[in-house]
């Protein structure tokens, strides 16, 4: 994992997952609390050159710090649902989204708007990466992944917990801004280009699209997620304040 805010977020929420730390000398003042924790807990850290950090991160965007971190395993759907409090709740079902930068941007927006989880289909290979965590700017530590089981069972469980599913499509759907969104909502988002699975879209309770000028076909999935979440937050959470 790399990036200043990404590493700080891990330290704030699950420091026990940190196994080793590498940092540039210029980052020492900003990372003093983490370095003191490393010393107290016998977690090794090394001050290294920029070239070494770039090799460790496999990226030039390391922001002066790289950490070896234990991966946080996805939750299962049933226990996640049991722990949810009553009231408004929004989650994202990612059907085929794979680009780590899109995932990171989605997680950043999800954290900002208080999304309860990112739901992953049973056979999805999507996983947290250093690139996704850096782009998320700490948001990756705020939004858990939940691994779904069989699709029809997962939809039935979500319905049983009071959720409606909204397929997000480019055309042939209700205008997002003219739709009264339910308090408990799962936005189902498809991959760039192919979109979501047609059968999954049919199984959703409503279909929404984001209106625009038509100058381009659509927003990319990360930008669309921000708009979708902002509209849910405005229509549901703001109304309760």
Its domain, for residue 22, covers 4-69
In the predicted model, is pLDDT for residue 112 greater than 80?
yes
Under the banding of pLDDT at 50, 70 and 90, the label for residue 56 is very high
Please state the length of the chain: 241
Domain boundary among 18, 34, 69: 69
Kindly tell me the sign of the dihedral angle through the C-alpha atoms of 62, 63, 64, 69: negative
160-215 per-position pLDDT tens digit: 999 999 999 888 899 999 999 999 999 999 876 667 788 898 999 999 999 999 89
38-50 per-position pLDDT tens digit: 999 999 999 999 9
Domain boundary among 15, 47, 69: 69
Bridge partner list, 69: 18
- How many independent structural domains does the chain possess? 2
Nearest to 64 by CA among 75, 55, 53, 74: 53
Mean pLDDT of the chain: 94
Mind giving me the DSSP string for 73-142?
PPEEHHHHHHHPPSS-EEEEEEES---HHHHHHHHHHHHHTT---EEE-TT------HHHHHHHTTGGGT
Q: How far is it, in rounded angstroms, from Cα 211 to Cα 69? A: 41
Kindly tell me the sign of the dihedral angle through the C-alpha atoms of 74, 78, 82, 87: positive
The answer on 126 and 26 residing in a single domain is no
**pLDDT at residue number 193:** 61
**pLDDT at residue number 97:** 84
11-43 per-position pLDDT tens digit: 999 999 999 999 999 999 999 999 999 999 999
Q: What is the CATH number for 28?
A: 3.30.1330.30
């Amino acid at each position: 994992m790399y990036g200043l805010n990404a590493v700080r977020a891990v330290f704030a929420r699950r420091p026990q997952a940190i196994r080793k730390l590498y940092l540039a000398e210029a980052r020492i003042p900003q990372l003093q609390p983490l370095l003191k924790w490393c010393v107290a807990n016998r977690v090794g850290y090394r001050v290294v050159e920029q070239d070494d950090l770039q090799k460790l991160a496999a990226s030039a965007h390391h922001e002066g710090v790289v950490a070896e971190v234990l991966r946080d395993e996805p939750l299962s759907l049933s226990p996640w649902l049991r722990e949810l409090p009553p009231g408004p709740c929004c989650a994202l079902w990612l059907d085929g989204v794979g680009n780590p930068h899109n995932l990171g941007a989605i997680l950043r927006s999800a954290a900002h708007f208080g999304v309860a989880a990112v739901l992953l289909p049973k056979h999805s290979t999507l996983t947290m990466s250093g690139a996704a965590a850096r782009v998320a700017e700490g948001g990756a530590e705020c939004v858990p992944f939940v691994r779904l089981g069989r699709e029809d069972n997962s939809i039935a469980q979500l319905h049983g917990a009071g959720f409606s599913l909204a397929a997000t499509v480019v055309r042939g759907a209700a205008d997002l801004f003219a739709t009264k969104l339910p308090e408990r909502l799962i936005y189902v988002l498809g991959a760039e280009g192919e979109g979501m699975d047609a059968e999954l879209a049919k199984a959703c309770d409503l279909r929404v699209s984001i209106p625009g000028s038509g100058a381009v076909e659509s927003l990319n999935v990360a930008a669309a997620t921000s708009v979708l979440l902002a509209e849910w937050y405005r229509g549901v959470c703001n109304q309760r304040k």
